Structure 1
Amino acid sequence: MQPDTSPSLTTSGLNLIAQALTIYDRDLRLAVCNAPFQQMFDLPDELVTPGATFRETVYHLAKRGEYGPISDLDAFVQERIDQALAFEPHYMERTRANGGTISVEGSPLPQGGWVTVYTDISHTKAQEALLRARASELSDQVLSHTEAQSRTNRQLAATIAALEEAKRQLTQTQARTRLTTEMMPAHIAHVDQSGYYLFSNRRLNAVIPGRPSEIVGKHISDALGEFAYGRILPNLTQAFQGKASVFEFTDQASARRIRVAFTPDESGGVYILSMDITEETQARVALQQSQRRAIAAQMISGLAHDFSNLLTIILGLQSKLTRMGGLPDDAMPLIDGTLSAAHRGGTLLNNIAGMTAERTLRPAATDIGALLDDIATLAKPTLPDGLTLTVTPTHIDGRYMFDPGMLQDSLLNLILNARDACGLQGQITLAARVMHPTWIEFSVTDTGPGFSDDALERGCDPFFTTKGSEGSGLGLPMVYDMTKLAGGDLKLGNTDQGAIVCLRLPMRPAPNASGALVLLVEDEPDLRQYYRDMLMGLGHSVIEAASVDEGIALTADLPDIGFVLSDVSLGEGTRTGIDLARQVGGVLPVVLMTSLPAVDPLHIAATQAATVLQKPFGASDLAPLLNSAGPA
């Protein structure tokens, strides 16, 4: 049963109070009063009805003589109005026209207006007078002191009430502030000049997993741990000296990218704002790599065209020489060598074109174990009898969003490099592991001689090779390029047995919507029909929308929707499929379709908001996204 909080119940409670009480709002209109207020001042009903003005009430009381003789009634009323508009907490005692005495205690309200309590203290005053009359033997000084003490006690009680109200308001403000900061996706904190936490919104463990959330009173080194504290210490030292800073670091334990802002305060302490920017960094890395490739393509395309023409001329002249008679016997080996070099130059041009040509990621739901087994099947026939390839069991359940073609090419390239390093004997190991809920790391290790210092430093630079004339120097750079396009990273290193290459990619679980109700958002009727038929052919039910607003409304009305497929560009409105993905992406899996090039700002923004499917596509491209983990 719900408690009765009706206004009538509140009024009944106020009427039981012996003191008179009024609440006027910021516009000087009566909001609440109790029955003793009307009885104490003998007021008509219209002046105790909510909405009655303060001016009318004062005018009525003054005209009736409540405040004694008044020479200018209008000026007196206006003076009271001005005092009310500039209201301050107060306590006073006033003798009424009827000879009685009342105390008046007023306090402002946080939302405007004020509350006033009127207490009839006539009996107390009478007792004080009787005491004076019956105790003539007491000195006037003692009596005055008694009166003063009584008045002081009443004023002290009023002050305590005001302080209690101020404390309550401060407590409410602190609670609202803490609630607001705890809802923010960042850690907000304040440390004193010694590095001890004075405040924290208890979000540290959300930014750096494994760290405590209750850290007020702890030293920052204890809260962050040795590694993270060591990374932030130089900037923290500068902040203690009064210099603000913003910087980033990668937490070793969680592999997350953290952005930190230090702002000094006036007392030598520091305000701290830190947030997890791992996904932002992955998207930024992918964008930077796309921009680098676009610049490289512009620089190389003209040179490649001219170089290709030169190779064509060289091949033509050498072919003409072979058809000429009367050449010395040692001329043919020279001609064959020139032709071989020219053909190698053509192959090199094709590799360069492959590196700089526009490449679009096509993420699909990928089974990691199956992918590694397929790679082993392709790679093992290329290895000599004395060299073995072992695939370490992954124990990675479910499917994840990768471009399987690019990933397969990258890992095969690394295996073949390891083969060339090992020679005829040795061991190559292919493995994959989850690094927290942030990355999936693929590693290829071998028992070869390992990377030289020069190779560790320059191994991913284009055209750097340790294979002499047999290497193009484009293998590792191509793997590096594909990894960066996916928002990942590539690291070279050595172990006790040989070399290791770690390819780290963002861990993005594939959405599961097999057999589910799919919301299709497309503004072109013909395309909507085409995609609807495709979805139904894959065994899904479909509900359609032509705009972002319509799609959002459907997700609110239909809880059975299991997947959203939306175009990025939707009609002439300002809202796009990106807005839809940002609003419902936290609840439903979303795939955005687009024909925009990868360098278009909308395409880049779409990749940051959801999985992107490049148009045109067929059912074979869409099916892995919708059927990633069996029936829903």
Structure 2
Amino acid sequence: MILAAGFLAGLAVAVGGVLLARRLFPAAVTGEAALPDWTMLRAAVNHDDIAIAVTDRAGRLVCANDLFATWMGGFVTPPGLPLEGRGPDLLKNAGRAAWRDGEGVADDVAIGALRMRAQVTRTGQAEDYLVWRFSALERIDLATEIVRHLDGPAGRTLGQAGVMTALVNAEGRLRVANQAFLLRALGEGETAQYTGRDVAAMLRLDDSGSLYFAREGDRATPVRMLQIPLVPADSNGPMLLAMLDEEMGPADRGTAQAYVETLLSLLPFGLAMVDRDGRFLYMNRAFIRAAGVAEGKTPRYPGDIVVGEDKGALADMIRRHSSGQQVGGDLSIRLAAQSDEPVSIRVVGVRGLGEAAVLLSLKDSSEESRLKRQVAQASKMQAVGQLAGGVAHDFNNILTAVLGSCDLMLMRHTPGDSDYDDIQQIRSNANRAASLTRQLLAFSRQQTLRPQILQLPDVISEVSHLLKRLISDTIQLSVHHGRGLGAVRADPGQLEQVIVNLAVNARDAMPGGGTLTIDTYPVSAAEARLLGNDIMPPADYSALKVSDTGTGIPADVLPKIFEPFFTTKDVGKGTGLGLSTVYGIIKQSSGFIFADSNPGKGTSFTIYLPVHRADGDAPVVPVPPVKPKKSQWGTGTILLVEDEDMVRAVAERALTRAGYTVVTASQGEEGLERFAQMEKVDLIISDVVMPTMDGPAMVRALRAKRPDLPVLFMSGYAEEQLRHSIDIDDVAFLPKPFSVAQLAEATSVALDEAARRASHDG
């Protein structure tokens, strides 16, 4: 009845506010609008259960009540409120609906723990205002309510009754406490800044098992403590502690042990109590988690949590320290749940804790170990990636010269010539080497990607004909596409290479035949969160899964499959770059890839690519049609700047043969000198990385004299890697290695693009 009455009262006030708003927007008098009294409207809409704001058609905040400012953290203009998740979009859509239809609703928006329903109404004499109403949904956060009450009159009332109360978080640190608790635990001058302090340090137990506040010393009054969990007992959450002065004398042994267990449960590190017979009496949650104890399988003895080789050493150490001497020692052991890494366990003898004779301390180092492995792996991959990029650059310069020389020689030889086949063989091997350098760049995530907005089924459809030729007749290809797949942003050519590499690996794993299955399906943010993967943030993904029914991957090999040059194939049958290339392409496309294998039953690789969200829900952009090749002949004067003699010589011969006048320079400063001596320059073709003065620095100096100068950069490094140094507008890029035909075509395209820009500017 009280809630209903409050709701009706709030509704009546809100309706009254709307009516008053309408009165404050009268029709224009003698051509001028009367000035509304916003202070009167603000006083009318000011109540405790509905947050209200008014905005005009220009999007300005003209009025809001105090509750709106409290909930929103100030007088913020809707819909730009500090909402969580999809709240801003929902509120924006509600505002648009209100302008269009007169009313809009956002059912569930949140700021922190506060969940609200937003109702937006168009109003005013000319209907040029929006009234935004926010009402709290009935979702009670017990911990938040306790914080509010303990810090107010309820906490003072409990203190007057002699009840000392505190709310602690899962790590045993104070969130809030009443003054009675703070004065006993901290003293008069320490109660101002208490949030986050360790509760266990404020309490102590004597030899008889009585509980005291540590700061009160020997003349302290014993207290009795009650613990009230705010979440299920098996969950890790906040706890309410209530303490009363002990009037019944010292606590018995059972109560003392209960106090000890309560204190141990509050500590953030793993602790366990062991009796004189070497049996567990108690383990806190941190110890269970650190020891990797499975749910429902509580061990009886400490030796049950370690590997067989360490059982004797741990038992001997516990026996030595159970005599009652308060000394301790450390022992390196291997846990049965994670036997690959040793951990340190501390054994301490204790007295005065009832049946407990030994305390075991175990640090949960699983997360630390995992982070160390990830950092080591990332560092190794980065180092090898940098090496791979440098090697690829040098190889690309060599291959450019080899391919160019072969092309020039082929122009002088015809099929049937005795040298023609040899030249073709050299060229074919050079192309194979160029493919290897592209794999190196892909692994090191330095390749040049041409991302497009596309759908995964379209990519698989394009590559499926090739897959049928790659796999043998004994392997069946099965493709399944899920509904509701979102578009992704990736390079279609590189994505096809990923699918082909995975399919070839699957084929090799099924020498006797089997089934190769390719699935695509959507993964929502909620489903991604349920996967429980730390490195993949919750978001909407389009998933691509490639599975086989082959021999599978052994468990000891699975963590290494994405490492460069790691292969299980025979010598000469694999470079070890296939899966590392796949990994590099997916990571460079902002995606994630995971492998799962069951030896003897098959392997599956699952790729998650984030769904592309375009402004205004832009449609998927189809792959543009292939443009006809440009002519390899042209006219004009070109300044060619290249520090590698063999590359410069081949490029000069190729361009001269194509009809261009070519002036060469071996580095940037010489290029500036040659440019100053030339009467006319139609195009600059320059390497990027050169000694003394690099290509971009030279081009900036030339563009200062001639802003419209056309430029074509070429480099053995990938454009992605050089993007920070090539911060110059209107330049083309040609990756090495390139053929004579590719150089001539790129030159023609650059000149045509410069002519188009000149005519457009003119």
Higher helix share: 1
Instruction: Work out which of the two has the higher radius of gyration on C-alpha atoms and give 1 or 2.
Output: 1
Normalised by the size of structure 1, how large is the TM-score?
0.40
Higher relative contact order, structure no. (Cα contacts within 8 Å, ≥ 6 residues apart): 1
TM-score by length of 2: 0.34
